Amino acid sequence: MDAAIAPIKTAVSPKANQAKRGFTLIEVLVSMVVITVGLISLLAAFGVAMQATNTAREDMIAKQLAQEAMESIVTARETANVTWAAIQNVGPAGAIFVTGLQPIRQAGADGIIGTADDAAAPAETMNDPGPDGIVGTADDGAPIPLTKFQRQIVIGPTATPDLRTVTITVQYTTTRNVTRSYILSGMVSQYR
């Protein structure tokens, strides 16, 4: 009878034992390293995105400063505030536009940006729109001086005496001490 009561041994396949096994410590450590590398890469991408956002704001300001100078030149020509001979860089008789990079200042007494009388004018500022995003409301921040920007206006001759090239360069330094430039080129004609 003992032989009849004896437990029956079942054969367990090696595959069934492997299916019940858990993760080894090495597998857990490797997966943690992979996840950590992925998270660090994601954090670095956020840093690059924040820097790009900041640079985009500075690029937009530089673009606006260059367009402001170009509009000032065209307006001076349109309103006949100055003669055609005056719309040149200082050098020829009567020319009024200063050479080299200049600090960003408001237009001087003549109302034209980039001329010698701008040196006495106050520095140009930009108004922060505040939390509502609208300039001119009560929640606006303090004016931000544009001291890290510089502008250069180069007015050159062309083959036609009634046409001049205008190149406006706005240069600024980013928060990472990288110097960047925005260049706007165009032409201005003597005729209105």
Question: Is 4 inside a domain boundary?
Answer: no
Question: Is 85 inside a domain boundary?
Answer: yes
The pLDDT mean for the chain works out to 86
- What is the CB neighbour count within 10 angstroms for residue 124? 20
Burial class (CB in 10 A: 0-12, 13-18, 19+), 84: middle
Q: What is the token pair recorded at 56?
A: 């985009």
Question: Is 1 inside a domain boundary?
Answer: no
Question: Is 19 inside a domain boundary?
Answer: no
Of 97, 103, 177, the closest CA to residue 145 belongs to 103
Of 69, 97, 71, the closest CA to residue 83 belongs to 97
User: What are the two backbone dihedrals, phi and then psi, of residue 76, each rounded to the nearest 5 degrees?
Assistant: -60, -40
Residue 8 has pLDDT above 70, yes or no: no
Question: Is 127 inside a domain boundary?
Answer: yes
CB 116 within 8 A of CB 91: no
Residue 187 has pLDDT above 70, yes or no: yes
Q: Which domain holds residue 159?
A: 25-189
- Provide the domain count of the chain: 1
Does the pTM exceed 0.75?
Answer: no
Question: Is 7 inside a domain boundary?
Answer: no
Question: Is 18 inside a domain boundary?
Answer: no
Pairing, β 163-173 against β 179-189 = antiparallel
- Mean pLDDT on 67-88: 89
Question: Is 42 inside a domain boundary?
Answer: yes
